[in-house]
A = this chain, B = another copy of it.
Amino acid sequence: MVENSELRKAGLKVTLPRVKILQMLDSAGLRHMSAEDVYKALMEAGEDVGLATVYRVLTQFEAAGLVVRHNFDGGHAVFELADGGHHDHMVCVDTGEVIEFIDPAIEKRQKEIVAEHGFELVDHNLVLYVRKKS
């Protein structure tokens, strides 16, 4: 269950749209939802929230670190709850299925590579596009 205190902590007023959107992200079956997905889910649930608000709120949630925005291939962004831990993604090009994973070896190498170039790692984005072995 998502807590309203998370909103307060983020300096966001606890409004109905924000609470509903947060719950939707938490309870909907899909781990990764586009703004449109969230909007449609809210409509079906009888909640009257504007699409513009969904975009605004998701952007605020991202800024607050409550959700993470992903730009997988294919035009539209998807969001997922920032359940604490970081992870990367594997996307099946045939089914669209998304699998989350984390690999310590890769994480470690990334930091090393960046350091070798005189930088520090701020963030990273790794998506593996895969297909079921035939």
Contact = CB atoms under 8 A, between A and B. Distances in A.
Interface of A: 71-74, 90, 92-93, 99, 101, 103, 105-106, 109-110, 113-115, 117-134
Given A93-B122, A119-B92, A125-B73, A130 B114 contact: yes
B132 A128 contact: no
Contacts of A106: 106, 109-110
Given A72-B71, A106-B106, A109-B105, A122 B131 contact: yes
Contact of A120 (B71, B105, B123, B133): B133
Contacts of A121: 128-130
Nearest to A115: B133
